[in-house]
Homo-oligomer: A and B are copies of this chain.
Amino acid sequence: KKKPLALGGYFPRESRSPPSSLPPPPRNSRLNSMATEAQAQWVLTATGRSPTNIAVIKYWGKRDEALILPVNDSISVTLDPDHLSATTTVAASPAFPSDRMWLNGKEIALSGGRFQSCLREIRKRARDVEDEKRGIKIKKEDWEKLHVHIASYNNFPTAAGLASSAAGFACLVFTLGKLMNVNEDYGELSSIARQGSGSACRSIYGGFVKWCMGKSDDGSDSMAVQLVDESHWDDLVIIIAVVSSKQKETSSTSGMRDTVETSPLLQYRAQTVVPGRILKMEEAIKNRDFESFARLTCADSNQFHAVCLDTSPPIFYMNDTSHRIISLVEKWNHSEGTPQGCLHI
Protein backbone atom coordinates (compact mmCIF):
# COMPACT_ATOMS: atom_id res chain seq x y z
CA LYS A 1 0.00 0.00 0.00
CA LYS A 2 1.10 3.51 -0.73
CA LYS A 3 2.55 5.31 2.27
CA PRO A 4 0.77 8.47 3.33
CA LEU A 5 2.58 11.47 1.93
CA ALA A 6 3.74 14.45 3.90
CA LEU A 7 1.08 16.54 5.58
CA GLY A 8 0.49 20.00 4.19
CA GLY A 9 -1.96 22.81 4.21
CA TYR A 10 -4.41 20.53 2.47
CA PHE A 11 -4.61 18.00 5.23
CA PRO A 12 -6.93 17.90 8.18
CA ARG A 13 -5.46 19.63 11.17
CA GLU A 14 -5.99 18.30 14.61
CA SER A 15 -5.85 19.62 18.12
CA ARG A 16 -6.60 18.20 21.48
CA SER A 17 -7.91 21.38 23.04
CA PRO A 18 -11.64 21.38 23.81
CA PRO A 19 -13.29 23.47 21.10
CA SER A 20 -15.66 26.22 22.03
CA SER A 21 -18.17 24.94 19.49
CA LEU A 22 -18.66 21.57 21.11
CA PRO A 23 -22.16 21.12 22.56
CA PRO A 24 -22.19 20.52 26.30
CA PRO A 25 -22.72 16.95 27.45
CA PRO A 26 -26.23 16.25 28.68
CA ARG A 27 -26.54 17.37 32.33
CA ASN A 28 -28.12 14.33 33.83
CA SER A 29 -26.29 11.75 31.77
CA ARG A 30 -26.04 8.20 33.00
CA LEU A 31 -22.48 7.27 33.75
CA ASN A 32 -20.71 4.79 31.62
CA SER A 33 -20.17 1.52 33.48
CA MET A 34 -16.41 1.73 33.06
CA ALA A 35 -16.15 5.20 34.59
CA THR A 36 -15.89 6.04 38.25
CA GLU A 37 -17.70 9.13 39.60
CA ALA A 38 -14.37 10.95 39.73
CA GLN A 39 -13.56 10.16 36.13
CA ALA A 40 -17.05 10.91 34.85
CA GLN A 41 -16.44 14.52 33.95
CA TRP A 42 -13.46 14.16 31.61
CA VAL A 43 -13.93 14.82 27.94
CA LEU A 44 -11.26 13.91 25.46
CA THR A 45 -11.43 15.79 22.16
CA ALA A 46 -9.78 16.04 18.80
CA THR A 47 -10.40 18.60 16.07
CA GLY A 48 -9.62 18.34 12.40
CA ARG A 49 -10.26 20.17 9.19
CA SER A 50 -10.76 18.65 5.74
CA PRO A 51 -11.17 20.43 2.45
CA THR A 52 -13.72 19.55 -0.14
CA ASN A 53 -12.64 18.24 -3.54
CA ILE A 54 -13.91 18.78 -7.08
CA ALA A 55 -13.83 15.88 -9.51
CA VAL A 56 -12.29 16.45 -12.92
CA ILE A 57 -13.17 12.91 -14.01
CA LYS A 58 -16.50 12.28 -12.39
CA TYR A 59 -17.76 9.69 -9.96
CA TRP A 60 -21.40 8.96 -10.81
CA GLY A 61 -22.92 5.56 -10.13
CA LYS A 62 -22.30 2.81 -7.59
CA ARG A 63 -21.88 -0.89 -8.20
CA ASP A 64 -22.46 -1.56 -4.48
CA GLU A 65 -24.79 0.73 -2.55
CA ALA A 66 -23.88 -0.39 0.98
CA LEU A 67 -20.10 -0.43 0.59
CA ILE A 68 -20.15 2.59 -1.77
CA LEU A 69 -18.16 1.04 -4.59
CA PRO A 70 -18.18 3.06 -7.81
CA VAL A 71 -18.69 1.99 -11.43
CA ASN A 72 -15.55 3.85 -12.55
CA ASP A 73 -12.33 5.42 -11.35
CA SER A 74 -12.43 9.16 -10.72
CA ILE A 75 -9.90 11.96 -10.31
CA SER A 76 -10.31 15.13 -8.29
CA VAL A 77 -8.44 18.16 -7.11
CA THR A 78 -8.54 18.90 -3.40
CA LEU A 79 -9.27 22.52 -2.56
CA ASP A 80 -7.42 24.70 -0.12
CA PRO A 81 -8.91 24.07 3.34
CA ASP A 82 -8.89 27.83 3.96
CA HIS A 83 -11.48 28.14 1.22
CA LEU A 84 -13.93 25.24 1.37
CA SER A 85 -13.64 22.86 4.25
CA ALA A 86 -15.36 21.08 7.09
CA THR A 87 -14.09 21.50 10.62
CA THR A 88 -15.02 18.72 12.98
CA THR A 89 -14.51 18.22 16.67
CA VAL A 90 -15.04 14.79 18.13
CA ALA A 91 -15.26 14.22 21.85
CA ALA A 92 -15.41 11.09 23.95
CA SER A 93 -16.49 10.99 27.55
CA PRO A 94 -17.81 8.39 29.97
CA ALA A 95 -20.53 10.96 30.62
CA PHE A 96 -22.00 10.53 27.11
CA PRO A 97 -24.84 8.00 27.11
CA SER A 98 -24.98 7.77 23.29
CA ASP A 99 -23.28 8.85 20.07
CA ARG A 100 -24.61 12.20 18.89
CA MET A 101 -23.80 14.62 16.10
CA TRP A 102 -24.39 18.28 15.28
CA LEU A 103 -23.97 19.62 11.75
CA ASN A 104 -23.65 23.40 11.46
CA GLY A 105 -25.02 23.66 15.02
CA LYS A 106 -28.10 21.52 14.41
CA GLU A 107 -28.37 18.01 15.76
CA ILE A 108 -28.71 15.35 13.08
CA ALA A 109 -29.43 11.63 13.32
CA LEU A 110 -26.40 9.37 13.50
CA SER A 111 -28.52 6.30 12.89
CA GLY A 112 -27.78 6.19 9.15
CA GLY A 113 -25.71 3.29 7.90
CA ARG A 114 -23.00 5.60 6.62
CA PHE A 115 -22.19 7.19 9.97
CA GLN A 116 -22.42 3.81 11.64
CA SER A 117 -20.00 2.30 9.10
CA CYS A 118 -17.40 4.99 9.73
CA LEU A 119 -17.78 4.80 13.52
CA ARG A 120 -17.63 1.01 13.49
CA GLU A 121 -14.56 0.85 11.26
CA ILE A 122 -12.61 3.42 13.27
CA ARG A 123 -13.63 1.89 16.65
CA LYS A 124 -12.42 -1.46 15.35
CA ARG A 125 -8.96 0.04 14.86
CA ALA A 126 -8.87 2.11 18.06
CA ARG A 127 -5.81 1.76 20.33
CA ASP A 128 -4.82 2.70 23.87
CA VAL A 129 -4.86 6.41 24.68
CA GLU A 130 -3.27 7.94 27.73
CA ASP A 131 -3.29 11.55 28.92
CA GLU A 132 -1.04 11.46 31.97
CA LYS A 133 -1.56 15.11 32.93
CA ARG A 134 -5.31 14.73 33.16
CA GLY A 135 -5.13 11.20 34.47
CA ILE A 136 -7.10 9.77 31.56
CA LYS A 137 -6.35 6.23 30.49
CA ILE A 138 -8.42 4.53 27.80
CA LYS A 139 -7.69 0.94 26.90
CA LYS A 140 -8.18 -0.28 23.32
CA GLU A 141 -11.24 -2.33 24.35
CA ASP A 142 -12.81 0.61 26.25
CA TRP A 143 -13.52 2.42 22.96
CA GLU A 144 -16.29 -0.03 22.17
CA LYS A 145 -18.23 1.34 25.12
CA LEU A 146 -17.23 5.01 25.04
CA HIS A 147 -19.69 7.22 23.19
CA VAL A 148 -18.75 10.20 21.09
CA HIS A 149 -20.17 13.62 20.38
CA ILE A 150 -19.38 15.08 17.01
CA ALA A 151 -19.71 18.72 15.98
CA SER A 152 -19.03 19.62 12.37
CA TYR A 153 -19.17 22.94 10.54
CA ASN A 154 -18.87 23.69 6.85
CA ASN A 155 -17.54 27.09 5.82
CA PHE A 156 -19.61 26.83 2.59
CA PRO A 157 -23.19 25.83 1.60
CA THR A 158 -24.19 22.27 2.43
CA ALA A 159 -25.70 19.99 -0.26
CA ALA A 160 -25.29 22.59 -2.97
CA GLY A 161 -23.05 20.56 -5.24
CA LEU A 162 -19.84 21.50 -3.44
CA ALA A 163 -19.15 18.07 -1.99
CA SER A 164 -19.95 18.97 1.59
CA SER A 165 -20.31 15.31 2.45
CA ALA A 166 -16.88 14.58 0.98
CA ALA A 167 -15.25 17.11 3.28
CA GLY A 168 -17.50 16.10 6.18
CA PHE A 169 -16.87 12.35 6.13
CA ALA A 170 -13.15 12.73 5.39
CA CYS A 171 -12.91 14.99 8.40
CA LEU A 172 -15.03 12.73 10.59
CA VAL A 173 -12.92 9.66 9.83
CA PHE A 174 -9.64 11.51 10.15
CA THR A 175 -10.57 13.17 13.42
CA LEU A 176 -12.12 10.07 14.98
CA GLY A 177 -8.93 8.26 13.97
CA LYS A 178 -6.85 10.84 15.84
CA LEU A 179 -9.08 10.70 18.89
CA MET A 180 -8.93 6.92 19.00
CA ASN A 181 -5.22 6.83 18.13
CA VAL A 182 -5.62 4.60 15.10
CA ASN A 183 -2.46 3.78 13.20
CA GLU A 184 -3.81 3.12 9.71
CA ASP A 185 -2.24 4.71 6.65
CA TYR A 186 -4.07 7.26 4.51
CA GLY A 187 -5.16 4.68 1.95
CA GLU A 188 -6.90 2.70 4.65
CA LEU A 189 -8.50 5.84 6.10
CA SER A 190 -9.68 6.81 2.61
CA SER A 191 -11.36 3.42 2.29
CA ILE A 192 -13.23 4.04 5.55
CA ALA A 193 -14.20 7.59 4.55
CA ARG A 194 -15.50 6.11 1.28
CA GLN A 195 -18.11 4.22 3.27
CA GLY A 196 -19.42 7.53 4.59
CA SER A 197 -19.56 9.26 1.21
CA GLY A 198 -17.81 7.95 -1.89
CA SER A 199 -16.00 11.12 -2.85
CA ALA A 200 -14.87 11.62 0.78
CA CYS A 201 -12.08 9.13 0.15
CA ARG A 202 -10.46 11.67 -2.17
CA SER A 203 -10.48 14.45 0.46
CA ILE A 204 -8.01 12.53 2.61
CA TYR A 205 -5.17 13.74 0.38
CA GLY A 206 -4.25 17.15 -1.00
CA GLY A 207 -3.30 17.86 -4.60
CA PHE A 208 -4.70 15.64 -7.35
CA VAL A 209 -6.20 12.41 -6.14
CA LYS A 210 -7.45 9.32 -7.91
CA TRP A 211 -10.11 7.07 -6.47
CA CYS A 212 -9.32 3.60 -7.78
CA MET A 213 -12.65 1.80 -8.08
CA GLY A 214 -11.08 -1.56 -7.16
CA LYS A 215 -12.22 -5.02 -8.13
CA SER A 216 -12.86 -6.74 -4.86
CA ASP A 217 -16.44 -7.40 -3.76
CA ASP A 218 -15.61 -6.41 -0.17
CA GLY A 219 -14.34 -3.00 -1.28
CA SER A 220 -10.91 -3.46 0.30
CA ASP A 221 -9.14 -2.22 -2.84
CA SER A 222 -11.48 0.72 -3.49
CA MET A 223 -9.48 3.63 -2.13
CA ALA A 224 -7.82 6.91 -2.96
CA VAL A 225 -4.22 7.46 -4.02
CA GLN A 226 -2.50 10.79 -4.37
CA LEU A 227 -1.34 11.46 -7.94
CA VAL A 228 0.63 14.63 -7.18
CA ASP A 229 0.62 16.83 -4.10
CA GLU A 230 -0.67 20.39 -3.88
CA SER A 231 2.71 21.94 -4.73
CA HIS A 232 2.86 20.25 -8.17
CA TRP A 233 0.55 22.63 -10.01
CA ASP A 234 0.28 25.56 -7.67
CA ASP A 235 -0.54 28.23 -10.26
CA LEU A 236 -3.79 26.47 -11.11
CA VAL A 237 -6.65 28.68 -9.99
CA ILE A 238 -10.10 27.33 -9.18
CA ILE A 239 -13.03 29.71 -9.33
CA ILE A 240 -16.32 28.62 -7.82
CA ALA A 241 -19.33 30.47 -9.14
CA VAL A 242 -22.44 29.93 -7.06
CA VAL A 243 -25.34 29.96 -9.51
CA SER A 244 -28.01 29.11 -6.98
CA SER A 245 -28.11 29.20 -3.21
CA LYS A 246 -30.83 26.58 -3.06
CA GLN A 247 -30.13 23.05 -1.95
CA LYS A 248 -30.02 20.78 -4.99
CA GLU A 249 -33.32 19.03 -5.70
CA THR A 250 -31.88 15.56 -6.15
CA SER A 251 -29.29 14.25 -3.70
CA SER A 252 -26.23 12.60 -5.21
CA THR A 253 -27.15 9.34 -3.53
CA SER A 254 -30.65 9.02 -4.96
CA GLY A 255 -29.63 10.65 -8.23
CA MET A 256 -26.88 8.19 -8.99
CA ARG A 257 -29.06 5.29 -7.94
CA ASP A 258 -31.68 6.42 -10.48
CA THR A 259 -29.01 6.83 -13.14
CA VAL A 260 -27.62 3.33 -12.57
CA GLU A 261 -31.14 1.90 -12.75
CA THR A 262 -32.47 3.84 -15.75
CA SER A 263 -29.76 5.41 -17.92
CA PRO A 264 -28.82 3.29 -20.94
CA LEU A 265 -25.71 5.43 -21.42
CA LEU A 266 -24.14 5.14 -17.95
CA GLN A 267 -22.53 1.71 -18.25
CA TYR A 268 -21.08 2.61 -21.62
CA ARG A 269 -19.62 5.76 -20.10
CA ALA A 270 -18.21 3.90 -17.11
CA GLN A 271 -16.76 0.96 -18.97
CA THR A 272 -15.73 2.44 -22.30
CA VAL A 273 -15.30 6.20 -22.04
CA VAL A 274 -13.89 6.82 -18.57
CA PRO A 275 -10.91 4.41 -18.57
CA GLY A 276 -9.31 6.23 -21.50
CA ARG A 277 -10.02 9.60 -19.95
CA ILE A 278 -8.42 8.57 -16.66
CA LEU A 279 -5.15 7.75 -18.43
CA LYS A 280 -5.20 10.98 -20.40
CA MET A 281 -6.04 13.01 -17.31
CA GLU A 282 -3.20 11.48 -15.30
CA GLU A 283 -0.87 12.37 -18.15
CA ALA A 284 -2.21 15.94 -18.38
CA ILE A 285 -1.82 16.47 -14.64
CA LYS A 286 1.69 15.02 -14.59
CA ASN A 287 2.74 17.35 -17.42
CA ARG A 288 0.75 20.36 -16.18
CA ASP A 289 -0.78 20.37 -19.67
CA PHE A 290 -3.61 22.83 -19.15
CA GLU A 291 -5.04 22.45 -22.64
CA SER A 292 -5.60 18.71 -22.30
CA PHE A 293 -6.64 19.11 -18.68
CA ALA A 294 -9.25 21.72 -19.57
CA ARG A 295 -10.59 19.77 -22.52
CA LEU A 296 -10.95 16.56 -20.51
CA THR A 297 -12.44 18.31 -17.50
CA CYS A 298 -15.09 20.09 -19.58
CA ALA A 299 -15.90 16.97 -21.59
CA ASP A 300 -16.27 14.83 -18.50
CA SER A 301 -18.32 17.36 -16.59
CA ASN A 302 -20.65 17.63 -19.58
CA GLN A 303 -20.90 13.86 -19.87
CA PHE A 304 -21.78 13.61 -16.20
CA HIS A 305 -24.62 16.08 -16.78
CA ALA A 306 -25.54 14.10 -19.90
CA VAL A 307 -26.06 10.84 -18.00
CA CYS A 308 -28.04 12.79 -15.40
CA LEU A 309 -30.31 13.94 -18.22
CA ASP A 310 -30.47 10.39 -19.58
CA THR A 311 -31.95 9.31 -16.24
CA SER A 312 -35.69 8.73 -15.73
CA PRO A 313 -36.93 11.09 -14.43
CA PRO A 314 -34.15 13.35 -15.70
CA ILE A 315 -31.88 15.09 -13.20
CA PHE A 316 -31.02 18.74 -13.81
CA TYR A 317 -27.99 20.09 -12.00
CA MET A 318 -27.52 23.08 -14.30
CA ASN A 319 -29.67 26.13 -14.76
CA ASP A 320 -29.77 28.99 -17.25
CA THR A 321 -27.00 30.78 -15.38
CA SER A 322 -24.76 27.71 -15.60
CA HIS A 323 -25.47 27.56 -19.33
CA ARG A 324 -24.55 31.20 -19.75
CA ILE A 325 -21.28 30.79 -17.86
CA ILE A 326 -20.34 27.75 -19.94
CA SER A 327 -21.14 29.56 -23.17
CA LEU A 328 -19.08 32.55 -22.05
CA VAL A 329 -16.02 30.42 -21.26
CA GLU A 330 -16.45 28.44 -24.49
CA LYS A 331 -16.50 31.67 -26.48
CA TRP A 332 -13.45 32.92 -24.62
CA ASN A 333 -11.54 29.68 -25.24
CA HIS A 334 -12.62 29.71 -28.87
CA SER A 335 -11.56 33.31 -29.46
CA GLU A 336 -8.13 32.67 -27.92
CA GLY A 337 -7.66 29.42 -29.82
CA THR A 338 -6.65 27.40 -26.76
CA PRO A 339 -8.47 26.87 -23.47
CA GLN A 340 -8.16 29.85 -21.13
CA GLY A 341 -10.54 28.39 -18.66
CA CYS A 342 -12.43 25.18 -18.19
CA LEU A 343 -15.53 24.35 -16.33
CA HIS A 344 -16.90 22.01 -13.86
CA ILE A 345 -20.33 22.73 -12.51
Contacts and interface: CB of A to CB of B under 8 A. Distances in A.
Interface string A293-307: 001001100110111
B303 A264 contact: yes
A327 B313 CA distance: 8
A323 B312 contact: no
Contacts of A311: 302
A129 interface: no
Contacts of A272: 264, 268
A330 interface: yes
User: In the complex this chain forms, how many copies of it are found?
Assistant: 2
Residue picked from A272, A298, A313, most chain B C-beta under 10 Å? A313
A309 B307 CA distance: 9
Interface in A297-335: 298-299, 302-303, 305-307, 309-314, 316, 319-320, 323, 326-327, 330, 334
Interface string A253-287: 00000000010110011001100000000000000
Contact of A265 (B249, B306, B319): B306
Given A264-B272, A302-B310, A316-B327, 4 more contacts: A262-B299, A265-B303, A299-B312, A320-B320
22 contacts: A262-B299, A264-B269, A265-B269, A265-B273, A265-B306, A298-B312, A299-B312, A302-B309, A302-B310, A303-B309, A303-B310, A305-B309, A305-B314, A306-B306, A309-B309, A313-B326, A313-B327, A313-B330, A314-B326, A314-B330, A316-B326, A320-B320
